[in-house]
Amino acid sequence: MKPLNIASLSNSIGSSIGKKIVFWFLTINVLSCGLLAWRTYDISRASLEDAVQTSLLVVAKKKAEQLENLTLEKIRSVESLMHNPSVSEAAREFSQAISEGGRESDFYKAVAEKYGPNLSRIADTFNYTDCALISPSGDVLFDQYGTLPFSENLLNGRLKGTELADTVDRARTLLQAEISAFEIYPGMKDPAAFIASPILENGVVVAVIVFQLNNRELYSVINDYTGLGETGEALVAANLNQNEMVIVNPLRHAAAPAFSIRTPLTSGAYPALSKALGGVHGSGLFSDPGNRQVVASWTYVPSFRWGMVVQQRVEEAFALTKAQRNATIWLLLFMAPPIVLLALAVARTITKPIRVAVRVAKQVAAGDLDATFEIKSHDETGQLLAAIRSMTADLRELYGSMEDKIRERTSELQLANEELSVARVAAEEASKTKSAFLANMSHELRTPLNAIIGYSEMLQEDAQDKGDFGPVEDLRKIESAGRHLLGLINDILDLSKIEAGKMEVFIERVDIRALVAEVRSIVRPLAEKSDNKLEVICPKDIGAFWSDETKVKQCLLNLMSNANKFTSKGKVTLTVERNADSFIYFRVADTGLGMNEEQLGRLFQAFTQADASTTKRFGGTGLGLAITKHFCVALGGDIAVESTPGTGSVFTIMIPDQQEPFERKPAGLTSESKNALVLVVDDDLVARELLTRTLENEGYQVITARHGLEALALARQHKPNAITLDVMMPHLDGWGVLKQLKDDPELRNIPVIVVTILNERGLAIPLGAVELLTKPIDRQRLTSLLTEYCGNPTETTVLIIEDDSATRDLLCRSVRGVGYRADAVVNGQEGLDWLSRSPPPNLILLDLMMPKLDGFGFLRELRKHHAYDHLPVVIVTAKELNADDIRDLSELKAEIITKDNDYLRELVTIMQECKRANGSDSLRQVPRQAMENQ
Amino acid sequence: MVKILLVEDNEMNRDMLSRRLKRNGYDVVIAVDGREGVDMAASELPDLILMDMSLPEIDGWEATRRVKNNDATRSIPVIALTAHAMAGDREKAIDAGCEDYDTKPVEISRLLGKIAALLNPGAA
């Protein structure tokens, strides 16, 4: 295995998945190892402590047992002397020697020499330090080393009441060996314990033999520190009296000699000793008088009535525990680096293919489809990489073929564009040439014509002046033919210009009455010729309008002369009126031949008259009506005709007042109206009128635009709920309008229905139209589309904005109960979204406390939009409103209903009253009434 | 007698119009192109100028501008005679300083009305 480098590993992991894996791996490992180590340490510490305490107790008990055995052994050894005749004999002779000569007598000395060595030997044999014989009355008969006061009687003298005296007394009385307590006797330096046995002869006590126990023998048992280490020791204490105890043995670590330490039983200085003296055994942890922690075991020693404690300092007793703890810590520290390395390695193994996948995905996303990588494993990550590889390959192939196709298509398009542009240049050239030719030719044609007409007029005048009326009639015919020819040339020139798109419009102020008077004066001779009655109906206050006077005049002259041409002995009426939508209507009615449907269809086509035979009968080029229509359209107006064969015809031309055309108020739109507004865009007047009538019958408000630029201006000004859009229009065609509408964030959401002759759905829908209808329009389809996108125009809609579902349902039910349509959303933001995709509601019921966007925020946003400036809003709230709230709401034109017990009934009552008052009409009055009902 | 300067390049039109104006009691002087028109306006100081627009040398619009730029001739009213339906000709004529315009072929009675209106503004 190659050596691991942590830094490079860390770098290569990098990603957050890798970090997560490392983190969790380490956490799990460290936690489990730590827990395991701690638990192991804890268990072994507990068992070690237990073992230490047990072993100390064993030591204590063993010591106690040794002391007991020692005592028993001594007692047995002494009891074996009880019936010893030599001892009894010695006692009798010592007694006799004292009574006959005293202790200083030779006799006594002889007896002592005779028996003394024997007794000493016995003492030595049993390892006693002293040996004495006491008479049954308490006198000291013999003392090996003279430590006892021979002059004293044990039972009467100074030693009376001592443990020694009591022991001797018990031995001679109870006839058995007795052992004294261990204590310091008067006149003795070291503490001592004695064992006494009666000496019997024929069942009579002749003496009591007393041995002093060897202190060293006792201490060797007590102060045997085997297995107690450096700090272990034994303490033995005896009750001094009821309240005090004394430590009997010399201590290992204190300079104090035996019996030097006295302490009250309850002082707590030696709690274990107190327990031991209480006769029980046990183990535990304590502080010694030096305030060091010790572990101690205690037991009672019955023969001496001692309490014994065996103790060891904790730091030594538990040294192994500490060592074990340190070993555990070292083990953990030692294990940590391999675990970290392992974690990093695992993380790298897992994340490496993922990182490869991420890198490749990023490369692919950035458009680099040639990203390569190798797949090393066959697990899930390997499969992921394989999937990415095959996906990338697919994409590469797809892109490759797409790029090829695009290149191909682009080059085709380029070629087509080039061809087109060549063709366009050629066409423009041709058009220019044609226009120049026409202009020149008309000039060249008219100049001689002018002369012909002029000279024939002059000759007529000359002839009349001379009174020679003969040639006048012929001259008039020449003049008339010349004028006719001039008219034809002018018509052809006009039409050429129209078709070449060279028709120019010169907008000026037109005095309508003056115009009509001029037309009348020009037409009057024609009417008289056809024997027609000429009537002009024109309001005196009709005033002026802005348009191209020459063209309007030419249109009127065309219509009037036509009317007179096809009517004889009838009546021709010119009616002029100004419409509310600023159109000036000129209506020319005659009582002439009239036309049938088929004739009407061909009427406005160039070079066509109602009937081919007409030309023969009435003359004319057949260009008049075609030119008239073109002129009307160029002026933003149109021409319409109604006719009944045999009864007469009515031609109507509508010319708009071009004064500030975009600022005029559209027809039928008032600030009070509430129905959905539809903008109808069509350059054809008839189509426009038809759509307008259809939509108005359905209850929509309609505004109309004649071309693309006007459509955009009106859309921006009125923000209609829907737009019907013609495609082929002057100035800016429907596609251009659609594109600009969709590019404008303010207008983007207005649904657009494209209405056109060709089914170009494939173009309309991608450009953002909601639907495409082909002319002639299916009215039902149009109506249902508009209902879908604008709602039913005659329906009253209430928008409820409320976050609490129960209240929301309640409000919806109440609103529907009154017969209105209820739509509900859950917060202000959704309210705004709703408004952006729906026609304005008639009323908004608004909660104030809502998530995301509260009622105040919603209202502020709402009022920013001009279209919603006067939309009535009623606040329905449980919030305690302070003065600032009320002022804010009042500024935002919202009225308030407080959510008390009766508010719902109040709201319903208001809406019902309103409905009765206004039919299903406007809810505009609601807020005021709401206030009055407060 | 009222003197009218007729600036017209076409001989027949010039002859016809001058004769008809004379018949109606006006004194007519003739110029055949724009340059001559401007010169004669200054030398003859007519009461009114009838100016054809399509003239050789300098055209009618330019000639009118020159007439109107000369202090001596500025006050002389100019009636432009424009080709029929040549949209833009009329506007250009008004821009050049013409007081009125009429279209060719000339309707003599209409032209006489316009001449009378310009010569006797108070009587119109």
Return the minimum-mean-pLDDT range out of A144-153, A173-182, A643-652, A702-711: A144-153
Q: What is the pLDDT of residue B64?
A: 92
Nearest to A63 by CA among A212, A226, A213: A226
DSSP annotation of A868: G
Closest A-chain CA to B104: A450
Tokens, residue B89: 């000709």
Q: For B84-100, what is the mean pLDDT?
A: 74
Closest B-chain CA to A460: B20
Closest A-chain CA to B19: A458
Q: Which of A138-142, A170-174, A350-354, A614-618 has the highest mean pLDDT?
A: A170-174
CB-based contact (8 Å) between B124 and chain A? no
Mean pLDDT across chain A:
80
Does residue A184 surpass a pLDDT of 90? no
Nearest-neighbour CA in chain A from B15: distance (Å):
9
How far is it, in rounded angstroms, from Cα A753 to Cα A768?
9
Q: What is the 3-state secondary structure (H, E, C) of A36-102?
A: HHHHHHHHHHHHHHHHHHHHHHHHHHHHHHHHHHHHHHHHHHHHCCCCCHHHHHHHHHHHHHHHHHC
Which of A376-415 are b and which e, b meaning 16 or more Cβ less than 10 Å from the residue's Cβ?
eeeeebeeebeebbeebeeeeeeeeeeeeeeeeeeeeeee
Nearest to A657 by CA among A786, A508, A773: A508
Q: What is the pLDDT of residue B37?
A: 93
Nearest-neighbour CA in chain B from A493: distance (Å):
8
Q: Which residues contact A931 (CB under 8 A, 6 or more apart)?
A: A895, A896
Q: Do the Cβ atoms of A447 and B87 come within 8 Å?
A: no
How far is it, in rounded angstroms, from Cα A494 to Cα A39?
111
Q: For A722-749, what is the mean pLDDT?
A: 84
Does residue A5 surpass a pLDDT of 90? no
Does residue A499 surpass a pLDDT of 70? no
How far is it, in rounded angstroms, from Cα A725 to Cα A682?
7
Q: How far is CA A355 from the centre of its chain?
A: 26
Q: Do the Cβ atoms of B105 and A486 come within 8 Å?
A: yes
Q: In CATH, which of 3.40.50.2300, 3.40.605.10, 3.30.70.360, 3.90.1150.10 is domain B3-118?
A: 3.40.50.2300
Q: For A214-219, what is the mean pLDDT?
A: 83
A59-111 tens-digit pLDDT: 888 888 888 888 888 888 888 888 888 888 888 888 888 888 777 888 888 88
CB-based contact (8 Å) between B88 and chain A? yes
Whether cis (ω within 30° of 0) applies to the bond prior to A448 is: no
Q: Which residues contact A737 (CB under 8 A, 6 or more apart)?
A: A681, A708, A711, A712, A725, A729
Does residue A306 surpass a pLDDT of 90? no
Q: Which residues contact A900 (CB under 8 A, 6 or more apart)?
A: none
- Using 50, 70 and 90 to split pLDDT, how confident is the model at A3? very low
Whether cis (ω within 30° of 0) applies to the bond prior to A645 is: no
Q: Do the Cβ atoms of A486 and B16 come within 8 Å?
A: no
CB-based contact (8 Å) between B19 and chain A? yes
Nearest-neighbour CA in chain B from A474: distance (Å):
19
Q: Which chain B positions have a beta carbon within 8 Å of A506's beta carbon?
A: 87, 90-91
Q: Hey, what's the torsion of the CAs at A605, A609, A615, A621, to 10 degrees?
A: -30
Return the minimum-mean-pLDDT range out of A205-214, A615-624, A788-797: A615-624
Considering CB atoms only, which of B16, B87, B88 is closest to A454? B16
Q: Which chain B positions have a beta carbon within 8 Å of A464's beta carbon?
A: none
Q: What is the 3-state secondary structure (H, E, C) of A354-411?
A: HHHHHHHHHHHHCCCCCCCCCCCCCCHHHHHHHHHHHHHHHHHHHHHHHHHHHHHHHH
CB-based contact (8 Å) between B109 and chain A? no
3-class DSSP state of A461? helix
Q: For A11-37, what is the mean pLDDT?
A: 78
Q: Which chain B positions have a beta carbon within 8 Å of A504's beta carbon?
A: 87-88
Does residue A264 surpass a pLDDT of 90? no
Q: What is the pLDDT of residue A927?
A: 42
- Using 50, 70 and 90 to split pLDDT, how confident is the model at A933? very low
How far is it, in rounded angstroms, from Cα A373 to Cα A355?
11
Return the minimum-mean-pLDDT range out of A181-190, A383-392, A551-560, A920-929: A920-929
Q: Which of A50-54, A588-592, A644-648, B83-87 has the highest mean pLDDT?
A: A588-592
Nearest-neighbour CA in chain A from B106: distance (Å):
8
Tokens, residue A732: 């800016």
Q: For A197-221, what is the mean pLDDT?
A: 86
Q: Do the Cβ atoms of A506 and B10 come within 8 Å?
A: no
Q: Do the Cβ atoms of A442 and B83 come within 8 Å?
A: yes
Q: For A574-594, what is the mean pLDDT?
A: 87
How far is it, in rounded angstroms, from Cα A442 to Cα A489?
7
Structure pTM?
0.37
Does residue B78 surpass a pLDDT of 60? yes
Does residue B86 surpass a pLDDT of 70? no
- Using 50, 70 and 90 to split pLDDT, how confident is the model at A912? low
How far is it, in rounded angstroms, from Cα A307 to Cα A278?
8
A504-548 tens-digit pLDDT: 777 778 889 888 988 888 888 888 888 999 999 988 888 888 888
CB-based contact (8 Å) between B94 and chain A? no
Residue type at position A921: D
How far is it, in rounded angstroms, from Cα A843 to Cα A697?
24
Q: Is the dihedral of CA A865, A871, A872, A876 positive or negative?
A: negative
Return the minimum-mean-pLDDT range out of A406-410, A670-674, A869-873: A670-674
Q: What is the pLDDT of residue A576?
A: 93
Nearest to A568 by CA among A622, A531, A524: A531
Q: For A6-24, what is the mean pLDDT?
A: 68
- Using 50, 70 and 90 to split pLDDT, how confident is the model at A763? confident
Q: What is the pLDDT of residue A924?
A: 42
Q: Which chain A positions have a beta carbon within 8 Å of B104's beta carbon?
A: 446, 450
Q: What is the pLDDT of residue A151?
A: 62
Half-sphere exposure of A371 (CA within 13 A, CB side): 23
Q: Which residue has the tokens 């206004």?
A: A918
Closest A-chain CA to B20: A458
Mutation to test the A interface, candidates B84, B101, B114, most A Cβ within 10 Å: B84
CB-based contact (8 Å) between A486 and chain B? yes
- Using 50, 70 and 90 to split pLDDT, how confident is the model at B66? very high
How far is it, in rounded angstroms, from Cα A768 to Cα A570?
55
Q: Which chain A positions have a beta carbon within 8 Å of B105's beta carbon?
A: 446, 449-450, 453-454, 486
Q: What is the pLDDT of residue A32?
A: 86
CB A752 within 8 A of CB A771: no
Q: Do the Cβ atoms of B85 and A450 come within 8 Å?
A: no
Q: Do the Cβ atoms of B54 and A493 come within 8 Å?
A: no
Return the minimum-mean-pLDDT range out of A334-343, A725-734, A860-869, A893-902: A893-902
> How many interchain CB pairs under 8 A, A with B?
57
Does residue B40 surpass a pLDDT of 90? yes
Q: Do the Cβ atoms of B105 and A493 come within 8 Å?
A: no
DSSP annotation of A204: E
Residue type at position A730: P
Considering CB atoms only, which of B20, B87, B105 is closest to A458? B20
Q: How many helices (H) and strands (E) does chain B have?
A: 5, 5
A233-251 tens-digit pLDDT: 888 888 877 788 888 888 8
Nearest-neighbour CA in chain B from A549: distance (Å):
12
Q: What is the pLDDT of residue A366?
A: 78
